[in-house]
Structure 1
Amino acid sequence: MIPASELVDGFRSGTFDPVDALEASLQAVRDHDEQVNATVLIDEGAGRKAAEASAARWSAGTPLSPADGVPVTIKDIILTRGWPTLRGSKLVQEDVAWDEDSPATARLRESGAVIFGKNTTPEFGWKGVTDSIRHGVTRNPWDPSKAAGGSSGGAAAATALGMGSWSVGTDGGGSVRIPGSFSGIVALKPTYGQVPVWPASAYGTLSHIGPMTRTVRDCALLLDVLAQPDSRDWSTLPAPATSYVAGLDGGVGGLRIAFSPDLGYGHNDPEVERAVRTAVDSLTDAGAVVEEVSLDLEDPAAAFHVLWFSGAAKVLKAYGPDALDQVDPGLAQAVREFGLEATAADFLDATAVRMALGERMGELHQTYDVLVTPTMPIPAFTAGQPAPDGWPSQLWTSWTPYTYPFNMTQQPALTLPCGFTDDGLPIGLQIVGPRHADALVLRAGQAYERATDWHTRRPPMLNHD
């Protein structure tokens, strides 16, 4: 459970090497994956080959990057050369291995990181919990009777339990931040285009790729690796001018922070409300100028549904006319209700809502540097369910009100742990910045993390190791 930044220090000093780090990660898979179901593929041979090559580079004093030798897993939505990408669906052929990497995978290989496995996802990453007909239920590392969140739930559970130092997930409506909050880790949805996406997502410009780690510093280090242009993505941004790690310790002195507990339409569990307000007090103590604001936003869920499930309908169309009868019943129902019936006018109306929301957030950031909210209004609920017991809706957007708006606006949004419920379940704090202010968001997160010790807590099952 050593952070990647400290692993690399150990590689540099010769205290241990990448082979040791990989073996510890593989042991964590053996010890805990049966309880949480975080992985769909582990390739020990490929991992050891990469780790041994990295160890030789460190021994020769020629590492490829500050991430050389760090063990990593990747969500099974992202293409990996030589391995299948099943996307949690029985519609995808299991025996088809890709001959190309997605940009995120390619950048990891170029950095020398040790890729050794792939993580569970719900079917085509469509929802906020991680279960599928193909791979079953992924469970919470803090309490396996609870959900890990989704759709990058396998990546979150693996990271929390040391099955690799970090992972790479996708986020089209909260999919790194929801499981990040439920699983007690750090996860960032970067500014859209900062991490290239290829093949292009059917969910369009809602879909982001982001780092999932145990510390903010590791998040910045992994973003340095991932945030490099790729010609296959027409919307990719230029490479950052400086490392995201460089300004990480600048603190929040004088930073103007808007705190919205509910965005104007959410409702929080009392334990979540209490933990987040305490976190906001910590930011004030660290020197930030915090003001609670009443945003009075209207929930953009209806517009998001048109955009999201039109994309899901497009995904399924590629698998033929019978695809809806072979997938997760919840996915099929949502596609029929929101995706198949949407017209071009509906899509344009939803886009107008999206643009108005972006304008409103742009206006907010004329006054405030960052916005702070709860990541989730609730802690993790029973695994295998689409929503908490007694919830008025079974649709995942009904209990994730603070994540999908920022996919619509394409802003950077970070979740990091800010406390626990009385039952020991993690609670997440979300820090949102204006577009292209990823470094600022990470700096604010680092300041909060340095003032607290939530990131040092370990899931109970690790205490038995």
Structure 2
Amino acid sequence: MKPVVEGRDTTARCAADAAFGLTRSTEIPAVQASSLASMVGQFRRGERSPVTVLRQLLDDIQADTAAINAFCLLDPDQAMAQAHAAQARYQAGAPLGPLDGVPVSVKDLVAVKGWPTRRGSLSSLADPVAEQDAPAVTLLRNAGSVIFGKTTTTEFGWTIGSTNPHAGVTRNPRSLEHSAGGSSSGAAAQVAAGWGAVALGSDAGGSVRIPASWCGVVGFKPTFGAIPLAPQSAFAEFAHLGLLTRSVADCAWAFSAMSGAHPLDPSSLYPRAGRSLPGRCLRIGWAMQFDADEMLDPTIDAAFRQFTSQLGAQGYEMQPVDLRTEGLAEDMWRVWQSRIYESFVDWSPEKLALLDPRLRGVYEAGAGLGHAALTRSRARLRTFATRVATLFSDIDVLLTPATSQVAPRLDAPVAASPDAENWFAGNGFAFPFNIAQMPALAMPLGVNASGLPFGLQVVGRRYEDEQVLRFAAELELHLQRTA
């Protein structure tokens, strides 16, 4: 029987996929065997131990951490105790889960029991250490992860630069004069530097995917609620926890251990039945029309167009999509200002004075917003989310550039925008899918003439995280074969 997608004959495209070496199964292609899967397999067979892996990792970080500054906290003693416990479990033939013995870092917006949460801010220096793990950290521990440190973030995650008042500058391992991106700055820099395979980040407007693109790694923001997030913040309906890894296969491996519901996050999701989609050919939309398209770097523009043309030549059904929305970045920025105001509204003047002056300026702008203007912006964001969801009636996945530019120099604005503070206006490919709460993954696409990386973004319907991961793995294989 011919495979059909909503009444369309897709035989030719499926045949082209087979000839090209692309699969439609739920398995990651074997040629892309996950380094995480390999590591865990070696642990099981006794060929490597969690203790030696962690020791080498800590030695590597110690040798070069000052140049990149990816971590605001390392706890070698606690981590080594966890690694020894994992090693004992493997020796007993009783590993906890798919990440047993694997070193994992946590972004410094997420609570880890016994550690401070500084949030990149001088205002948090007097805060007590966390009394309990955040739900996502609990899931990591339940899977056996070795939690070894906390990575840097911009102050309270408010922007996409890679500097904060508490830890200073985090540099891009691809070029130390350039930004690592944010707000998951240290997580992206850590993975790009080769210091561990998995980092837990967060993403309320692109904070996993933008630094992933700028540092040349994979960054995955799953469906809203797929990884439980608590405590809730003022950015609740935009905020997602996500992962940064070296490959799509590693990302899929780690995500399998982290998705699930938790009572502290009412939006979190229990695993859904039927998450593995049937083997069928995909209808692929591609878009370069958001608020950022007029500022798209010519190198990224050319590489993205060439990539989508290659897919079309291999028999994929490619559909150009126009999602241009006038003023979307301005609406998002207005709502963002209001949420920053909400975050600090009960603070004393003395505590507010400890914030970076730029963040304090955004707070003050939020305090002065008119109710009517804010209400209209929120309504337009909801309308946009509905528009995007409707679009996916006609496509299965959507491809866009991950960012409109490569990493800027550390001494340059983070966005090529007339409004230097409104970073949404210069990086418009990421935040729309926080509004829509859809799974979106950034993965390396190429580098410019200076060797700075840039990425491709793969977006799917809500709850179809596995489809995004599987298709991204196929694209990763394509890029490896054509490199």
2:13 aligned partner? none
Aligned equivalents of 1:87 and 1:110: distance in 2?
25
1:101 aligned partner? 133
1:147-162 to 2 correspondences below 5 Å: 147-162=179-194
1:28 aligned partner? 60
Quote the offset at 1:385 in angstroms.
3.9
2:301 aligned partner? 273
2:6 aligned partner? none
Structure 2: give runs of 5+ residues left out of the alignment. Answer: 1-33
Aligned equivalents of 1:307 and 1:72: distance in 2?
33
Which shifted more, 53-62 or 318-327? 318-327
2:30 aligned partner? none
Amino acid at match of 2:102: V
Specify which of 420, 439, 442 is matched with residue 394 of structure 1: 420
Is the 8 Å Cα contact of residues 292 and 404 (structure 2) preserved in structure 1? no
2:152 aligned partner? 120
- 1:413-456 residue CA offsets vs partner (Å, 9 max, x unmatched): 11000111111111100011121111111111111011123999
Are residues 115 and 455 of structure 1, via their aligned partners in 2, closer, same or farther at CA, if it must alter by over 3 Å? Answer: farther
1:42-191 to 2 correspondences below 5 Å: 42-94=74-126, 96-191=128-223
Amino acid at match of 1:361: V
Q: Does 1:426 align with 2:426?
A: no
Quote the offset at 1:225 in angstroms.
1.8
Quote the offset at 1:190 in angstroms.
1.0
Normalised by the length of structure 2, the TM-score is 0.88
Which shifted more, 81-90 or 198-207? 198-207
Is the 8 Å Cα contact of residues 292 and 426 (structure 2) preserved in structure 1? no
1:375 aligned partner? 402
Specify which of 344, 348, 355 is matched with residue 320 of structure 1: 348
Specify which of 425, 431, 438 is matched with residue 404 of structure 1: 431
Q: Please say which structure displays the higher CA radius of gyration.
A: 2
Q: Does 1:348 align with 2:375?
A: yes
- 1:165-204 residue CA offsets vs partner (Å, 9 max, x unmatched): 1101010100000101001111111111111110001212
Aligned equivalents of 2:119 and 2:412: distance in 1?
20
Aligned equivalents of 1:285 and 1:117: distance in 2?
45
1:242-321 to 2 correspondences below 5 Å: 254-263=281-290, 266-267=293-294, 268-284=296-312, 287-321=315-349
1:442 aligned partner? 469
Specify which of 207, 227, 241 is matched with residue 259 of structure 2: 227
Quote the offset at 1:220 in angstroms.
1.2
Aligned equivalents of 1:56 and 1:277: distance in 2?
51
Aligned equivalents of 2:398 and 2:370: distance in 1?
34
Is the 8 Å Cα contact of residues 188 and 217 (structure 2) preserved in structure 1? yes
Aligned equivalents of 1:272 and 1:105: distance in 2?
36
Is the 8 Å Cα contact of residues 220 and 242 (structure 2) preserved in structure 1? yes
Amino acid at match of 2:159: K
Is the 8 Å Cα contact of residues 310 and 342 (structure 1) preserved in structure 2? yes
Aligned equivalents of 2:75 and 2:315: distance in 1?
47
Quote the offset at 1:30 in angstroms.
1.4
Quote the offset at 1:29 in angstroms.
1.1
Aligned partner of residue 144 in structure 1, secondary structure: strand
Quote the offset at 1:61 in angstroms.
1.5
Q: Does 1:237 align with 2:265?
A: no
Which shifted more, 317-326 or 413-422? 317-326
Aligned partner of residue 340 in structure 2, secondary structure: helix
Are residues 445 and 51 of structure 1, via their aligned partners in 2, closer, same or farther at CA, if it must alter by over 3 Å? Answer: same
Amino acid at match of 1:13: R
Is the 8 Å Cα contact of residues 282 and 448 (structure 1) preserved in structure 2? no
Is the 8 Å Cα contact of residues 265 and 298 (structure 1) preserved in structure 2? no
Is the 8 Å Cα contact of residues 69 and 112 (structure 1) preserved in structure 2? yes
Are residues 50 and 274 of structure 1, via their aligned partners in 2, closer, same or farther at CA, if it must alter by over 3 Å? Answer: same
Is the 8 Å Cα contact of residues 292 and 427 (structure 2) preserved in structure 1? no
Are residues 283 and 47 of structure 1, via their aligned partners in 2, closer, same or farther at CA, if it must alter by over 3 Å? Answer: farther
Aligned equivalents of 2:308 and 2:64: distance in 1?
34
Aligned partner of residue 54 in structure 1, secondary structure: helix
Aligned equivalents of 1:40 and 1:104: distance in 2?
19
Quote the offset at 1:135 in angstroms.
1.2
Is the 8 Å Cα contact of residues 265 and 296 (structure 1) preserved in structure 2? no
- 1:248-300 residue CA offsets vs partner (Å, 9 max, x unmatched): xx88x621011112336523111111222233244445653112233332241
Aligned partner of residue 179 in structure 2, secondary structure: coil
Q: Does 1:357 align with 2:384?
A: yes
- 1:286-321 residue CA offsets vs partner (Å, 9 max, x unmatched): 653112233332241122123222221122234312
Aligned partner of residue 265 in structure 2, secondary structure: coil
Quote the offset at 1:19 in angstroms.
1.1
1:460 aligned partner? none
Percent identity for Structure 1 against Structure 2: 36
Aligned equivalents of 2:481 and 2:183: distance in 1?
23
Is the 8 Å Cα contact of residues 291 and 428 (structure 2) preserved in structure 1? no
Is the 8 Å Cα contact of residues 284 and 398 (structure 2) preserved in structure 1? yes
Is the 8 Å Cα contact of residues 166 and 212 (structure 1) preserved in structure 2? yes
Aligned equivalents of 1:325 and 1:97: distance in 2?
22
Aligned equivalents of 1:454 and 1:53: distance in 2?
40
Aligned equivalents of 1:46 and 1:375: distance in 2?
36
Structure 1: give runs of 5+ residues left out of the alignment. Answer: 457-465
Are residues 102 and 285 of structure 1, via their aligned partners in 2, closer, same or farther at CA, if it must alter by over 3 Å? Answer: farther
Amino acid at match of 1:329: P
Amino acid at match of 2:304: V
Which shifted more, 152-161 or 313-322? 313-322
Instruction: Say how many residue pairs are matched.
Output: 448
Is the 8 Å Cα contact of residues 414 and 441 (structure 1) preserved in structure 2? yes
Is the 8 Å Cα contact of residues 74 and 167 (structure 1) preserved in structure 2? yes
Q: Root-mean-square deviation (CA), in Å?
A: 2.1
Is the 8 Å Cα contact of residues 150 and 176 (structure 1) preserved in structure 2? yes
